[in-house]
Amino acid sequence: MNPCPHREWVLQEITKWSKGFSHYNQKTTYAALLFTEYLFNGYKSRERLLNANKLMEFFVYMDNDMERARRERSPELLRELMDKLLNAMESGRCDQGFDSGRRLLDVMSILDAQMNECWKSNMRQHLRNMFVTQTRVHCDYWLKDRFIPYDEYNDIRLQESGWPLMLTLVEYLMDYTLPEAVRNHPLMYEFMSSAAKLSLAVDDYMLLKAKLATNDITSGVLSYAHSQGCSVQSALDFQYMNVKHLERECQSLRTTIMANPTLSAEPLDPYMDVIIQTSYGMYCVFQEILKFEVRDGVLSCEKWDQLNQLVVDSNVCDVNPFKI
């Protein structure tokens, strides 16, 4: 995938905006920009790209806020953070010192002015679901060292990851609303389901080692290993084959949809291309952040090695792999 052609302009503008918040960090802002570069690749409107990046940057800074709850293994701190974000979104107000809340309100105000009613409604509902599911995963699974049940994994993690919100941003960036009749068509429904699973599968495959090093068992690979009673390596091999299967399935469904006379009247090919590229984009983001490479068919990553050593040396389990 080629990086976003508006990268430098977006970086310049997002930095100006982000410096208006006291918790601004250059490294964090740069990491957030990578999601726009690769997840939202190929869009023409640089202003909309900037606005989408502001929302993605909010999530990266929100994750920073969650570190204290992870470090102290506190359900109360995580619930307090998510409740404050929910209250800010619902009321349109927050304390001046709550930077993440101010970020959220600022970017929602910008997006509200440009989104249609459907997008605005979906954005809010997806944010609610995301905040609630983040709390559930942290309190019910991460804190208790419990595996997410494999048969529930995709449903839970899709909400936590914000994938439905990503689809709303895709429509906003493309300035195209998928008609409900098309969205609910069995072929299109199957395509969207496979693309969502592909995004999660790539995420799980790429981040397994970082999660293992930090004693985080909220991984689909580990859920599969637990459910099947197999080794982690066998589960990882299965996940690799799953990624390849889902890639083929998405492309096959795309071809079938475009050959369907009922569906081909809609401009679905560019839409489906963007959805697939958004799933692939996670791979590019992790490659850029973690600087991994493939050697003799095996992923090699110096940052993973540094992470492993840091955890061993410090005897802690709250290390953020993206900050090494």
Q: What's the rounded mean pLDDT across residues 231-240?
A: 92
User: Average pLDDT over the chain, rounded to whole?
Assistant: 85
Model pTM score: 0.85
- Does residue 317 sit within a domain? no
Least confident window among 224-233, 265-274, 294-303, 311-320: 311-320
Question: Do residues 106 and 116 both lie within one domain?
Answer: yes
Same domain, 15 and 134: yes
Domain end position, chosen among 161, 177, 193: 177
Does residue 200 share a domain with residue 134? no
- Domain of 126? 1-177
Same domain, yes or no: 149 and 184? no
Residue 159's closest CA among 132, 199, 138, 123?
132
Query: End-to-end distance of the chain based on CA atoms, in angstroms?
Result: 25
CATH number at residue 146: 1.10.600.10
Are 69 and 135 found together in one domain?
A: yes
103-130: per-residue pLDDT in tens?
999 999 999 999 999 999 999 999 999 9
- Check if the beta carbon of residue 62 is closer than 8 Å to that of residue 25: no
Residue 5 near residue 46, CB atoms below 8 Å: no
Q: Are residues 102 and 231 in the same domain?
A: no
Q: How far apart are alpha carbons 243 and 184 in whole angstroms? A: 24
Q: Are residues 116 and 16 in the same domain?
A: yes
Q: Are residues 209 and 244 in the same domain?
A: yes
Residues 117 and 203 in one domain: no
What average pLDDT does the segment 190-218 reach? 88
Q: Quick check: 65 and 100 in contact, CB under 8 A? A: yes
Same domain for 142 and 233, yes or no, is no
24 and 148 co-located in one domain: yes
Query: Looking at the predicted structure, is the pLDDT value of residue 320 above 80?
Result: no
Residue position matching structure tokens 């495959």? 205
pLDDT of the residue at 305: 66
Structure tokens at 191: 């395509």
Please check the confidence at residue 313 and state whether its pLDDT lies above 70. no
* Distance between CA atoms of residues 67 and 58, nearest Å: 15
Residues 102 and 234 in one domain: no
Q: How confident is the model at residue 284 (pLDDT cuts 50, 70, 90)?
A: low
What is the rounded CA–CA span in Å between residue 198 and residue 244?
9
Rounded to whole angstroms, the Cα distance separating 289 from 206 reads: 11
What distance in Å separates the CA atoms of residue 18 and residue 300, rounded to the nearest whole number?
Answer: 33
pLDDT at 308 over 80: no
d(CA 5, CA 3): 6
| Bridge partner residues of 294 (DSSP) | 299
The total number of structural domains that make up the chain: 2
- Say if CB 224 and CB 233 are below 8 A apart: no
* Average confidence (pLDDT) over 275-296: 70
pLDDT the model gives residue 76? 94
Residue 4: what pLDDT? 66
